Amino acid sequence: MVGRGALTKPWIFKEFKDGDSWNIDVKERIEIYRTLACYMKDHFGDDVMGRKKSWNFLPWHFEFFARYVDLPEEEFSQQSVQQPLIQNRLILPNDASPLETLLANRSTETHDFIASILWESASNEDAVQKLQQLAESHKFKEILLNGGSKQKEDEVLSNLPKGKAGKWEKRRGRTPAPKRTEEEIAEIRAERAAKKKRILDEGGELPYNPSHDR
């Protein structure tokens, strides 16, 4: 439950620590999102390859971030008992600002634009300014008009295995590791057996393996 909540509002841990709700505004949200982009820069590298690796994750996170709606406990506590609020797909109010409308958009094109701005911005203020310009731009109005490309909502929220024999779907951006051949498996087993024999011949003890107790 906490993990699902953190996907939508990662500052949930600050609320736990402080023992209080954080009524965050749109600019503070952007600062947090840019912090994530900066963490990815530090981890993957601030170059073409680092950006390419980060793009397996950063735009995807906005599929969840876009679901955030301020839900004060005093107003929504009873409703949360009846149904998980993350499932409600609450619609933004009519008086939502262009910036709030941008961050709530579910289009994958929008998520890519936002991620690019956060990655390239020199500061939080720069990010807010550029996102504001995007929110008021003609290209975002076209996305609002045409709908853009969206993923099915249930695809992102589902944890269930799909496909034959219950195999998990391949994660976005990750290629499966190559499978070993029968010859390679036999060679590995032979090496392990020789290592065990050498340890026993030298009077040593094999590491404890709990599977031997079964």
DSSP tag of 88: S
Question: Is the same domain home to 99 and 16?
Answer: yes
Residue 47: its pLDDT value, please? 93
Q: Are 41 and 142 in the same domain?
A: yes
Distance between CA atoms of residues 114 and 117, nearest Å: 5
In one-letter notation, the amino acid at residue 133 is Q
Residues 143 and 204 in one domain: no
Q: From first to last of its 214 residues, what are the pLDDT tens digits of the chain?
A: 788 889 989 999 999 999 888 888 999 999 999 999 999 999 999 999 999 999 999 999 999 999 888 877 777 888 888 877 766 656 677 788 999 999 999 999 999 999 999 999 999 999 999 999 999 999 999 999 887 655 444 444 444 444 444 444 444 455 555 677 888 888 888 888 888 888 788 877 766 554 454 4
What is the pLDDT at residue 27? 95
DSSP 171-203: PTT-PPPPPPPHHHHHHHHHHHHHHHHHHHHTT
**Rg of the chain, C-alpha, whole Å:** 24
Using CB atoms within 10 A of its CB, is residue 137 exposed (0-12), middle (13-18) or buried (19+)? middle
Q: Is the torsion defined by CA of 180, 183, 184, 187 positive or negative?
A: positive
Q: Is residue 110 part of a domain?
A: yes
| Chain mean position to CA 27 | 20
Residue 109 shares a structural domain with residue 190: no
**Are 189 and 150 within one domain?**
no
Residue 172 lies in a domain: no
- 36 and 62 Cβ atoms separated by less than 8 Å: no
Per-residue pLDDT, 115: 97
110 and 200 share one domain = no
In a domain, 214, yes or no: no
Do 126 and 203 belong to one domain? no
The pLDDT assigned to 191 comes to 86
Q: What is the pTM of this model?
A: 0.65
- Establish if 151 belongs to a structural domain: yes
Residue 123's pLDDT is what? Answer: 96
Q: Which of 162, 167, 151 is nearest to 60 (CA)?
A: 151
| Number of domains comprising the chain | 2
Same-domain status, 144 and 189: no
Q: What pLDDT was estimated at residue 32?
A: 95
80 and 108 fall within a common domain: yes
Same domain for 192 and 162? no
Position 198 scores a pLDDT of: 83
Same domain flag for 159 and 187 = no
- Whether residues 95 and 188 share a domain: the answer is no
Does residue 177 lie within any of the structural domains? Answer: no
* Host domain of residue 202: 182-208
Residue 135 near residue 143, CB atoms below 8 Å: no
